[in-house]
């Protein structure tokens, strides 16, 4: 991430076709060479997340001492049938590479697409009537089915900050029919009776349960009764 930040600050382009080094600081050059030296025979730099970050850093720095094609082959082999790469952070890190770019391009995109509008001040943003009244957040929502917790479907939705889990489910259902669900009110709050055409079954003791996951720590926590706030 440090390498990406340095390249971004330098305002240099970084693409899959980069062939010259964009890093001039000796310490950063050593860091780039150290990253490149850690590539394994299968093209990886560890797991999917670390491989994607390493590939972005090396591409942004213009280093040519590593095998970019082999690294991409490793990443693509780990793409699931749901088109993600095994988790939010891993997928987030791989996506720029699939577009032939890196996070170091952020500054360049701003220059190319935003300068035509001139400088935007804080007052301009605050006075805009088109902005939503509430801050919106993105939520990664997945359906897992069966005792072996097979992943059925995943999507990302945007909801106002302070929304409930029910709001997230409704947003997902409105976006994709795979997330359609049925629910009813109970003494403990909303009770989900069916998701994606799979109903709860009291006879076999199969019920829909909600969990939240911290993508930083990987800890999964069962949701509390009532309206869980995301």
Whether the Cβ atoms of residue 98 and residue 66 lie closer than 8 Å to each other: no
What are the DSSP calls for 138-184, one per residue? EEEEEEEETTTTEEEEEEEEEEETT-BHHHHHHHHHHH-GGG-EEEE
| Strand 181-186, strand 150-160: pairing | unpaired
Q: Specify the pairing of strand 136-145 against strand 181-186.
A: unpaired
- 13 belongs to an annotated ligand binding site: no
223 is in an annotated binding site: yes
With a CB cutoff of 8 Å and minimum separation 6, the contacts of 122 are none
Q: Is residue 191 a known part of a binding site?
A: yes
3-class state of residue 90 by DSSP: helix
Strand ranges inside the chain, DSSP E: 136-145, 150-160, 181-186, 189-195, 198-199, 211-213, 220-222
Asked whether residue 83 is marked as a ligand-binding residue, the answer is: no
Distance from C-alpha of 48 to C-alpha of 94, rounded to nearest angstrom: 8
C-alpha 117/C-alpha 2 separation (Å) is: 30
- Binding residue positions for cyanocob(III)alamin: 47, 191-192, 223
Which residues make up each annotated binding site?
Answer: 47, 191-192, 223
């Amino acid at each position: 991430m440090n390498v990406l930040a340095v390249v971004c600050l330098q305002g240099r382009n970084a693409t899959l076709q980069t062939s010259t080094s964009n890093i001039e600081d000796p310490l950063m050059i050593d860091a780039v060479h150290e990253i490149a030296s850690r590539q394994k025979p299968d093209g990886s730099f560890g797991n999917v997340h670390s491989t994607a970050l390493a590939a972005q850093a090396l591409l942004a720095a213009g280093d040519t001492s590593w095998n970019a094609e082999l690294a991409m082959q490793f990443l693509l082999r780990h793409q699931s049938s749901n088109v993600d790469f095994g988790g939010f952070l891993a997928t987030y890190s791989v996506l720029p590479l699939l577009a032939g770019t890196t996070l170091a391009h952020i500054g360049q995109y701003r220059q190319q697409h935003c300068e035509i509008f001139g400088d935007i001040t804080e007052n301009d943003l605050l006075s805009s009537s088109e902005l939503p009244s509430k801050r919106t957040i993105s939520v990664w929502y997945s359906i897992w089915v069966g005792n072996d917790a097979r992943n059925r479907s995943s999507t990302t939705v945007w909801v106002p900050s302070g929304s409930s889990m029910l709001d997230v489910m409704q947003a997902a259902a409105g976006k994709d029919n795979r997330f359609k669900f049925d629910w009813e009110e109970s003494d403990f709050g909303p009770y989900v009776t069916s998701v994606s055409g799979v109903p709860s079954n009291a006879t076999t003791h199969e019920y829909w349960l909600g969990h939240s996951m911290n993508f930083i720590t990987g800890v999964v926590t069962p949701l509390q009764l009532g309206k869980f706030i995301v």
